[in-house]
Amino acid sequence: MSAGRGCSAAFVFAALVVLASFAGTTEMETFPGLRENRAPIAVYLLVFAALVAAGGLALTTWRSYGGWAAVVCLVALMTLRMWTLAPALHCWSYDSTGRNDDGSYTCVNRGVMLP
């Protein structure tokens, strides 16, 4: 496999991982009621995607405009993801989360509710 195809595959894979991060918490962010807390998994997926994107950039030459453009696009996606995920991060260690009408989250762990 050539380096060009390898870095392209790395960037596409990183983009798919970021999209999986979006898909994993869509239900938690959209619908009312308690849902399983998948925010930590989404953050881990974003870290993994950043590592894959760095690996893809390492496969290209550092002066590759296409590689840098792909990294900029991935960073924009990851920033958007963290922006939408940030309100739920205070529930990191809880089992379930529930989205309130004002956009905040209620954390629930073993039957105990905390604001």
Q: DSSP for 12-25, please give it.
A: HHHHHHHHHHHHHT
Q: Span 13-40, mean pLDDT?
A: 84
Asked whether residue 1 carries a pLDDT value surpassing 50, the answer given is no
Measured CA to CA, the distance from residue 26 to residue 85 in angstroms comes to: 10
pLDDT tens profile 51-70: 999 888 888 877 778 888 88
Asked whether residue 114 carries a pLDDT value surpassing 70, the answer given is no
Number of folded domains that form the chain: 1
* Cβ partners under 8 Å of residue 82, min gap 6: 46
* Cβ partners under 8 Å of residue 105, min gap 6: 87, 88, 90, 91, 97, 98, 99
Q: Span 76-87, mean pLDDT?
A: 89
Mean pLDDT of the chain: 83
- The range of the structural domain enclosing residue 36 comes to 3-114
Residue 111 is predicted with a pLDDT of 58
